[in-house]
Amino acid sequence: MYSRWIESSLPGSLAKPYVHVLFGARQTGKTTLLRRLLPEPSLFFNLSDPVERSRLLVDPGAFTRACQALPRRSAPHFVVVDEAQTVPAVFDAVQSLYDADKGRWRFVLCGSSARKLRQTGANLLPGRSLQHRLFPLLLAERPASEPRARDIASPLPVPVVPLATPFPSASLQDRLAYGDLPGIVLADAADRPDLLRAYALAHLEEEIRREALVRDWGAFLRFLQLAAIESGQVVNFAKIAKEVGISPVTVKGHYHLLEDMFIGFSIQGFSRSPRKNLTSTPRFHFFDLGVRHAAAGLTPGADAVNADPGRALEQWVGAELWKRLGYLGRGRLHHFRTKDGAEIDFVVEIDRKLIPIEVKWTERPRRDDARHVIPFLEEQGKVAPMGYVICRCPRPEQLDDRVVALPWHCL
């Protein structure tokens, strides 16, 4: 069993007397994690199993009866429901049981669709639940095969926690080619492209069709491919709508759907600048590079990376920053862009500080690589003490008084 970074905090949270909801995309390891932390729950409902799901859909009361049949005792009974959003009646049952006796059961619900939770279980959340997120693997969970430079602090306040059993180390090329989903990482390299294609097509089709979230599946597939191709770029709703043959409103709805299913995330434009010509349009990123390649119609592997390695590295850095902020539970991720061409890939806003981060494919960073970071630091003053260029240099380098180039594996 490999260790996950969230294990340092989740066990303590699960001891609290609330309903716990663990969010995350399919195959991020939610079920494996809970089986590790709760090896012997009193009840485990696997609603990704069609037989189990159909049973509760036909007879929703069976869930309540099974919980009530558990003997009373001093310690709460853990009841785990995997893919809970697939049976909406479960949320009403959990609410009723929890309100009747907050100490008798400890409900832990897994979900891969926030939309279903909002639609069917919104009344469960206020004052009753704690939400948790599980992401694809962090750099701390899957170490770099390159040796890490000593005494280098990450730009983000996430310590490099020594995990008991980290995932096998990997090179940058491997991460950019196949992503960081646990199941893909542990699969044979020859099987990874087919597994990722199945995830991007068969899995998403099953998930979306089962929840009746899209009426025109053909149009959605065209949208999905374009969204993947454009991943990491400023979203042009009108352009995608024209190419797919649907309205811009529908395109926006499809992007929201991908976010609700944790397949992607939006990065808003940074607006707190004295400059008047800022671009506010968001950028959309896929949550995992391997899934992005497959959804874009590419074969995950070296060729998909070599077509545009700098863009692939930028998307990997963005996903790493997004995952870390998600685990921290605070901070926001922005991009900075002006209409006259000044651009910074990422601006991290956390603890009342701004951290501008530029990403370059180079092994030999120069001061010119930070040409947009330096004026940003000057105009923001003390609120932005340092900026960084993430690249492939072998060791950190000082590019300016307040700008450091960091190797990607020191992020």
Q: DSSP string covering 5-45, please?
A: GGGGTHHHHHTSSSEEEEE--TTSSHHHHHHHH-SS-SEEE
**Where do the domains of the chain lie?**
5-133, 172-410
Q: Using CA atoms, how far apart are residues 316 and 143, in angstroms rounded to an integer?
A: 14
| Local structure of 294: helix, strand or coil | helix
Per-residue pLDDT band for 88 (boundaries 50, 70, 90) equals: confident
Q: Where residue 117 falls among pLDDT bands split at 50, 70, 90?
A: low
Task: Please check whether residue 46 is in contact with residue 82, taking contact to mean a CB–CB distance below 8 angstroms.
Answer: yes
| Stated pTM of the model | 0.92
pLDDT band at 17 (very low <50, low <70, confident <90, very high): very high
Q: Which residue shows structure tokens 């494919």?
A: 361
Above 60 in pLDDT, residue 160? no
- 300 with 246: CB under 8 angstroms? no
Q: Is the pLDDT of residue 187 over 80?
A: yes
- Per-residue pLDDT at 347 exceeds 70: yes
Could you confirm whether domain 5-133 is CATH 3.40.50.300? yes
Residue 284 contacts residue 132 (beta carbons within 8 Å): no
Compute CA distances 24 → 33, 133, 326, 391, whole Å: 12, 6, 11, 29
Residue 128 or 318, more confident: 318
Q: Is the dihedral of CA 384, 390, 393, 396 positive or negative?
A: positive
Strands (E), 150-273: 264-269
Point out the least confidently predicted range of 148-157, 282-291, 302-311, 324-333. 148-157
Between the alpha carbon of residue 372 and those of residues 279, 308, 379, 387, 393, the distances in Å are: 15, 22, 11, 10, 20
